Structure 1
Amino acid sequence: MTDEGDAPATLMRLWRRAERPTRGRPSVLDIDRVVAAAVDLADREGIANVTLASVAKDLGVTKMSLYRHIGSKAELLELMADFAIGDPPPVESTGAWRAELTTLAEANRDVLMKHPWLVELPLTGPPAGPHAVAWMDAILRTLRDTGLDWGTKGGVLVLISGFVRLACAQAIQLAEGRQQSGLSQAQAEQAYGKGLAELIDPERFPDAVGFLTSGLGAPDQEEDPEFAFGLNVVLDGVAALIDAN
């Protein structure tokens, strides 16, 4: 068993092993309160406005008082990310791996869209906090009875997580662009298709013109069809791996 004294400080704080009871007057703060305040600030004002000073101001304390609980801004961001993603929905290894992976991918998407600043954070390494590990465990659990080896399961984990993150980043950026234009998604897509189709040469780009005039952005499209389509393609690939095993 690893000695907790050998674990990095950030890892200790992620797993809430860093704070110990002290004598005298108890602190008005703890890691959870600091991180919750930082997440709330990021949700309201964006991740660019999250600093130790701004979090301290929201909490009504001095910036220096945060250092008892948070080692640095970089560490705060790691703590915020794990706190914000929360636990995944419960899944069981029933053999219905595709349905279970779909549930987890959609739940992950909902979390990222609720906290859009999460996709702006740099990826600094594999899952390390309790919530991130819970998501990792849940995804791997759906693959338990597929016959895939650990290396392939790890590849599926990275593939699914990466797809969801990229799809959400794209959706968030497009939504910001539509907000600036004042158009709905369907209106923006229809205007894009119609305008571009009128400008480009159909002899030079025949398939692009065909696509742009095929009804892109129709109001009766299902919600987030790009995500559903992309996820199904990814899961088709996973199914091919399982069948070939």
Structure 2
Amino acid sequence: MDGDRMPAELARLWRIPADSRRGRPARLDVGRVVDAAVALADRQGLAAVTLPKVAESLGTTKMALYRYVGSKDELLTLMHDAANGPVPASLEGTGPWRERLRRWSEEQAAVFERHPWLADLRPSGPPSGPNGIAWFDAGLRAMRSTPLDWQARVGVIMLVSGYVKSAAQLARGLAAGREGTGMDQAAAEREYGMAMARLVEPERFPDAAALFASGALEDTGKQTGEEDFRFGLELVLDGVAARIGAEGGPEPAS
């Protein structure tokens, strides 16, 4: 794409410098503005990220920021790509598709752990920044050996990444619900299970009552959140494996 015709938003996202102008170099640039916004979100959450607060953290004015970002929505897009970061080295190399896609998902989950506010961002379209494209490319490479066509591979990436984000949102919600209680997720599940065992009537809710009476929620273990994530991920990957099998692909590796 000709740089002169490239939309300003894409140029900033890819850090393509504008035409140089004579005069004193600017004190700020897009990268510094985005880094400040990401740091603010990491400390105080996404709701705290406003142009005035970002400007204040940089010792400048809101109007000055418009030289580097066109709007709050554009800033969020820039933050999303920056927080994703480059693809980790663990995703390089070759191997069975399932192993590689599992690792891709786990690395994506680690990004949400580092930047929990990412789970609060609404989708604004397909990846368009350098980091987003790098992660997308790594997902496609994971499925290179499968017989799936491009459309199906993109669908798998959307499905798996959607699961990872949904799991991150659930974990954040559960953590917010436990805030101030001093309980971890396992303890909260035990308390919930015991309370429901007393309240849920078998005549009205037979299967739910049987679950709570079984005590299954009273012995979930300390790593219940991590185990729940892995269980759900394997179910998703089972579905992908079934589609690959239907296309005549190889049996999945564990």
Q: Normalising by structure 1, what TM-score?
A: 0.94
- Structure 2: how far apart are the matches of 1:118 and 1:221? 25
Larger deviation: 106-115 or 29-38?
A: 106-115
In structure 2, the partner of 1:231 is: 233
In structure 2, the partner of 1:244 is: 246
In structure 2, the partner of 1:222 is: 223
Kindly indicate whether residue 161 of structure 2 is the aligned counterpart of residue 124 of structure 1.
no
- Structure 1: how far apart are the matches of 2:87 and 2:211? 37
Aligned amino acid, residue 184 of structure 2: S
Mapping of residues 200-219 of structure 1, within 5 Å:
200-212=200-212, 213-218=214-219
Aligned amino acid, residue 149 of structure 1: D
In structure 1, the partner of 2:62 is: 63
In structure 2, the partner of 1:102 is: 102
In structure 1, the partner of 2:18 is: 19
C-alpha contact 1:92 1:142 (8 A) present in aligned 2: no
Mapping of residues 133-212 of structure 1, within 5 Å:
133-212=133-212
Task: Give the C-alpha shift of residue 70 in structure 1.
Answer: 0.9
Q: RMSD between aligned alpha carbons?
A: 1.5
Distance 1:47 1:25, change over 3 A: same
Q: Percent of aligned positions with the same letter in both sequences?
A: 50
Distance 1:28 1:53, change over 3 A: same
Aligned residue-pair number: 244
Aligned amino acid, residue 215 of structure 1: A
Q: Deviations over 1:159-200 (max 9, x none)?
A: 011100111001111111111433221111011001011111
Kindly indicate whether residue 113 of structure 2 is the aligned counterpart of residue 113 of structure 1.
yes
Aligned amino acid, residue 238 of structure 2: D
Q: Deviations over 1:56-109 (max 9, x none)?
A: 100111222211111111111100010001022232462411111111111111
C-alpha contact 2:194 2:218 (8 A) present in aligned 1: no
C-alpha contact 2:55 2:62 (8 A) present in aligned 1: yes
Kindly indicate whether residue 47 of structure 2 is the aligned counterpart of residue 48 of structure 1.
yes
Aligned amino acid, residue 219 of structure 2: A
Task: Give the C-alpha shift of residue 19 in structure 1.
Answer: 3.3
**SS of residue in 2 equivalent to 1:4:** coil
Distance 1:93 1:152, change over 3 A: farther
Task: Give the C-alpha shift of residue 209 in structure 1.
Answer: 2.1
Name stretches of at least 5 consecutive residues in structure 2 with no aligned partner: 248-254
Task: Give the C-alpha shift of residue 122 in structure 1.
Answer: 1.2
Task: Give the C-alpha shift of residue 228 in structure 1.
Answer: 0.5
Kindly indicate whether residue 72 of structure 2 is the aligned counterpart of residue 73 of structure 1.
yes
Distance 1:18 1:37, change over 3 A: same
Task: Give the C-alpha shift of residue 48 in structure 1.
Answer: 1.0
- Structure 1: how far apart are the matches of 2:136 and 2:88? 12
Task: Give the C-alpha shift of residue 156 in structure 1.
Answer: 0.2
C-alpha contact 2:186 2:223 (8 A) present in aligned 1: no
Name stretches of at least 5 consecutive residues in structure 1 with no aligned partner: none
Q: Deviations over 1:24-64 (max 9, x none)?
A: 11111111111000000011111111111111100111222
